[in-house]
Amino acid sequence: MAGLKVEWTHFAKKQRDEIFEYWNNRNKSKSYSQKLRITIKEKTDQLKIQPFSGKKTINDTTRMLVFKNYSLIYNIEKETISIISFWENHQNPETLKNFLGL
């Protein structure tokens, strides 16, 4: 499974971009967002090599990789890791369950 491709769903991209926008506006700078983008890249690279490094959720193919205050929720498919949500962990977890049907 090494060398899998990572794809982001439209929903996950929207969540990620909203978080970047929040921090850009709050800090009046893109510095934190750029650091977060690097961390996300490192974590998605990790998933390409170790797709099962995230915690199992509802089934064997949907997992959650937690880092800092964020989580990547993803599905493992044959040759692809599909990021289905980028979650800020301070939010109500029931909201995530409703979004994803967890």
Question: Is residue 49 within 8 Å of 3, Cβ to Cβ?
Answer: yes
**pTM for this predicted structure:** 0.85
Q: What is the mean pLDDT of the chain?
A: 89
Answer with the residue of higher pLDDT: 96 or 53: 53
Q: Which residues pair with 56 in a beta bridge?
A: 63
Identify the pLDDT of residue 25.
Answer: 95
Structural domains in the chain plus CATH codes = 5-100 (3.30.2310.20)
